[in-house]
Chain A
Amino acid sequence: MTPLTAFDKIWNLHVVKELNDGSVLLHIDRHMMHELSSYQGFDGLRGAGRRVRNIELTVGVQEHILSTDPGRNEDSFAPGADFLYTLRQNTQEAGIELVDFRDSRQGIVHVMAPELGIALPGATLVCGDSHTCTVGGIGAVSFGIGSSQVEEVLATQVLPMRKPMRMRVVFDGILQPGVFAKDLILYLIGKIGAGAGTGYAVEYAGPVIQDLPIEGRFTLCNMAIEMGARVGFVAPDDKTIDYVRGRRYAPTGKSWTAAESHWRQLTTDEEAIFDREITVDTTLIGPQVTWGTSPQHVINVDGQVPDPQSISDPETRRNAEQALAYMGLTPGASLIDLPIQNVFIGSCTNSRLDDLRAAAAMIQKRRVAAGVRAMVVPGSTSVKRAAEGEGLDRIFIDAGFEWRESACSMCGAVNADKVGPGERCVSTSNRNFEGRQGPNSRTHLASPAMAAAAAIAGRIVDIRKLGV
């Protein structure tokens, strides 16, 4: 038999039909929807007089344009009210399960779907959201789609797709102190570029990934799209099986036994061929911080911001100059000791329990520096409860952090949680684009530990020098 990659195996199992033009109809096992990108799909269905084909494979959740204020309601962030209401109306009319913002199951869609066992290994999962690749952390083939594709999945439960090429990134070496999954992925994007994964499904593998907890794998997969790859995933292993077992909607009994033995076959065969292979020596990686306006604009925290004059390609040079001007930085500058005004710990990248623990561990009974607004936004209501169960909320609140309700929040400034014009934010999210966290906001992406340490210091610091 031809040796196959894990991705090939999962893909092949979902091919409903091969079409003449080389594309296939790919079965979609799970369709997650949120209030920002789904209503256009329902409008289209209505206009064409079509029905939702598989309501049982579809789940809606309110999480984007939603206030994170404690005690929030549908109107707390006024511009979101119509969007939230419309998702409620659309799902109810169709008979689709809605997880609304008051529900204990609520959370950022990419956090709650695996947490509840809605997302499963070896399944295909889509959502009208580019960070759907997050769920690849449990070995699902999951990817973001546009609103027209939301409509296609609602109506047909399949998508016409061309098979992506396959890339494997092997992480090998020692994970240095102060280095987390976030640093691995930022480093990788910095090395290969924000467009290097375009057209690929990326499998992360190697000793470092085998040792990486599932939560870290979510972080790694989450940012696959930041190098252009729609799909990032880690093939299922013991850690995956242990993570899924006992989740609310995970299979049970005989079904579980069958599922588990199926998932265990979804590994990459020894001799399988990838279209591109990259090996990363993690021993070289320190805590990462972005300096510019693309996730590829990243350096070790103790490194120097590049000098555009040293870049030969004129277009790349102009881009770097533009990014430095936007960020208010000078060529060759150090990021260490750069004063910051905001810290955001949250988003589908870094808002799970391990992330909050790593952030809390940096606080050491100290307080957020004067003039810094620091907020923690747990990735789901259940993460929030679990964190409160172990007293993390008290650590954050006592230190002067805001402890908020779960939603997308300051990652994309989709509610009132914004960074002010010209202000800097050390953020655990995934995009440092111009204006991403508010008009003229300046984002420095980093790990939760680096973000928490920056909040306490009021400036960017190297957590390896703190001795905590």
Chain B
Amino acid sequence: MQKFDRLTAVAAPILTDNIDTDQIIPIPRMLASMRPDYGAALFGNWRYVEGDQPNPSFILNKPPFTNAKIVLAGENFGCGSSREHAVWALMGFGVRCVIAMSFGDIFFNNCFKRGLLPVVLSPDLVRSLAAEIMSTSEAHPITVNLVDRKITTVEGTEINFSIDDGLREILLEGLDEIGKILKHELDINAFQMRDRQLRPWIYEATPAALRQQMAVATGSVITSEPIKR
């Protein structure tokens, strides 16, 4: 998990509403291999024409946005499929921050697992940020400062943003979430002990539990089908 504290970079406005994760990373590019080049797959439907020729009219193919590390987006960015691949694709391209009017819920949560900062700003602020950026042909970067929860625009205006304290800390420190959860392992053990009494059916009748009971009852060894290619 990559840390995020502050970033000064080119921001690319892609303000269409409801950009779903199928657009952020289309299925065919996800299936190309088990570990494809996610960055190359970003916005695959829009970024390329005739297979893999760069589409000259798509913003990420136009300098200075080829170096964008920030994306400005509209409402409901990242809606649709739960694929975390969408986060990997953005980060693979080099994007570390998405500033949107709103986000799809699962995508928003996935961002914090890898070190992508999602910032919610009002539609007006996103539009004015975008307008400032598009009013110049030069690469005027903006700054996103998570430490102070502040964005500095191309023209130097400061915009405050809010973010949940816990989520901010995860990004600032690049925390290993599983390590953090496992500090509460005793609580999880205690919960399951109690819960087995309260709701035994949750633990008793599952496919694996039944298979195990059957094996004990018949004295047979648990075998599963050998792995084969």
Contacts and interface: CB of A to CB of B under 8 A. Distances in A.
Contacts of B207: 59, 97, 99, 116, 118, 249
Interface in A233-281: 249-252, 255-256, 258-259, 262
A194 B76 contact: yes
Interface of B is mostly: helix
B37 interface: no
A156 B188 CA distance: 8
A16 B194 CA distance: 10
A404 B206 CA distance: 29
Nearest to A15: B191
A422 interface: no
A412 interface: yes
Nearest to A144: B82
Interface string B96-120: 0000001111100110011000000
Interface stretch (A76-84, A177-185, A385-393): A76-84
A315 B205 CA distance: 52
A27 B210 contact: no
A97 B210 CA distance: 10
| Most-contacted residue by chain A among B177, B187, B204 (CB, 10 A) | B177
B177 A160 contact: yes
Contacts of A92: 224-225, 227
Interface string B182-204: 10110110011001000111111
Which among B102, B106, B177 has the highest number of chain A CB atoms within 10 Å?
A: B106
A157 interface: yes
A242 to B, nearest CB: 17
A58 B30 CA distance: 25
A288 interface: no
B104 to A, nearest CB: 6
Interface string A36-54: 1101100000001010011
A53 B180 CA distance: 16
Nearest to B20: A433
Interface in A8-34: 13, 16-17, 19, 21-23, 25, 27, 29-30
Interface stretch (B21-29, B61-69, B152-160): B21-29
Contacts of A413: 27-28
A119 B35 CA distance: 31
Contacts of A57: 202-203, 206
Contact of B106 (A13, A21, A194, A230): A230
Contacts of B79: 194-195, 228
B166 A322 contact: no
Interface in B1-37: 15-18, 20, 22-23, 26-28, 30-34
Interface stretch (A356-364, A366-374, A434-442): A434-442
B22 A255 contact: no
A210 interface: no
A316 B17 contact: yes
Contacts of B202: 29, 57, 120, 123
Interface string A374-404: 0000000000000000000000000000000
Given A130-B81, A434-B22, A117 B178 contact: no
B201 A130 contact: no
Most A CB contacts (10 A, CB to CB) among B76, B82, B166, B180 go to B82
Contacts of A85: 227, 229
Contacts of B80: 130, 225, 431, 433
Interface in B32-80: 32-34, 45, 74-76, 79-80
Contacts of A53: 188
Nearest to A249: B205
B188 A157 contact: yes
B83 interface: yes
Contact of A322 (B16, B30, B87, B199): B16
Contacts of A17: 184, 187, 191
Contact of B17 (A117, A144, A315): A315
A86 interface: yes
Contacts of B184: 16-17, 25, 158
A319 B17 contact: yes
Closest 3 pairs (CB-CB, A-B)? A21-B166, A148-B113, A251-B201
23 contacts: A17-B187, A17-B191, A21-B164, A21-B165, A22-B166, A56-B203, A57-B206, A92-B224, A92-B227, A96-B208, A116-B207, A147-B84, A148-B177, A152-B181, A198-B102, A228-B76, A228-B79, A250-B205, A296-B18, A315-B123, A316-B17, A433-B80, A439-B26
Interface of A: 13, 16-17, 19, 21-23, 25, 27, 29-30, 36-37, 39-40, 48, 50, 53-59, 65, 79-80, 82-83, 85-86, 88-89, 92, 95-100, 116-118, 120, 123, 128-130, 132, 144-149, 151-152, 155-158, 160, 162, 194-195, 198-199, 225, 228-230, 249-252, 255-256, 258-259, 262, 294, 296, 315-316, 318-319, 322, 412-414, 431, 433-436, 439
